[in-house]
Amino acid sequence: MAMKIGILTSGGDCAGLNAVIYAFEKAITAIDPKVDIYGILGGYTGLINREYKLLKHEDFSNIFNTGGTILGSSRQPYKKLIQAEGAHKVASMKENYHKMDLDALIILGGQGTHKTAALLSSEGLNVIALPKTIDNDLWGTDFTFGFHSAVNVATECIDRIQTTAASHRRAMIVEIMGNKVGWLTLYAGIGGGADIILIPEIPYDINKVIKAVESVKKSKGYCIIAAAEGAMDNEEATLTKKERYQKRGERGEVTASNRIAKAIEEKLNIETRVVVPGHIQRGGAPSPYDRVLCSQVGAYAAKLAIERKYGVTVALNGDKITSNKLDDIAGKTKVVPPKHELIKAAKDIGISFGE
């Protein structure tokens, strides 16, 4: 009998999801044209509610360079799934997997998605995961697909803000996504020529940030700060997540960007503006780099499926595509090491991290 394979996309969308779906279908049907691929709609929610459809060859046409996901996506927080009231959802996913008579389940997603993928694997489902996220925080892979596309967008935003900052002699803060890590801000900050980069892994001293702004402003007349949405100052770094959010809530803050801008204006009397590209960083067509990476990981996932190698996630290791056991990477976060080579290079060319 022909293999029956389910595929779903979970969590936040990003460029490259459709490219991976395209590459997987191309690669697996080249090996076995009789394989049936079922698209599970809306992420894990679709698996819980048994919302799916048999995908035809034409469903995969012309999606390679299209952003988003033809399958739809949603979030099913892992913490809620493992709580008592979430047990029925896990049970439903298992039940529907078997009712659909699937031989394997291909899951595209980030950190939370991989935790649930590992859970389903431990429950006996044949799972292969693929590393998607603009945050690049998934353990065990050099890069996740979607990351470089988001870097391109964030870098272009910083590029474009340079002219406004120069025209009005302002300090401009561009708040970059990335959840709890600074990979996206680090790459975009360097690529966009930011003067100051603030990331969660290196808590900043606001006085040193102000001093750096003053120095840059005197030198070229304006200043660009790339600030991660998770950036925090030295005081916040000593607090728990709950304490930090509570204090920010009391001040009417979600992130630190507006507080940083206010401090710069008050101390230096420099007009300072905050720009938040937000979900624009998730949208649009995948970059050429991501298209190549998506082709590689999609084809490799097809190979794993044909070989019945389950309980793994695809990974990029140097110039090789490989896989890691889900148990080995689920729940781990890949943060930016403070002594990373990119940090050193940025400092060598005069970029401040507010230390």
The residues spanned by each domain of the chain are 4-146+286-329, 150-282
pLDDT of residue 140: 97
Report residues of the chain scoring pLDDT below 50: none
- Does the fold of domain 150-282 match that of domain 4-146+286-329? yes
- Cα 341 to its chain centre, rounded Å, is 21
pLDDT of residue 79: 87
Domain at 4-146+286-329, CATH class: alpha beta
**The Cα angle at residue 232 between residues 228 and 237, in degrees rounded to 5:** 140
Active site residues: 135
If 0-12 CB within 10 Å is exposed, 13-18 middle and 19+ buried, where does residue 335 land? middle
pLDDT of residue 312: 98
- From residue 111, give the alpha-carbon distance in Å to each of 216, 272, 282: 37, 35, 16
pLDDT of residue 84: 83
pLDDT of residue 85: 82
CATH architecture of 150-282: 3-Layer(aba) Sandwich (3.40)
pLDDT of residue 137: 97
pLDDT of residue 94: 97
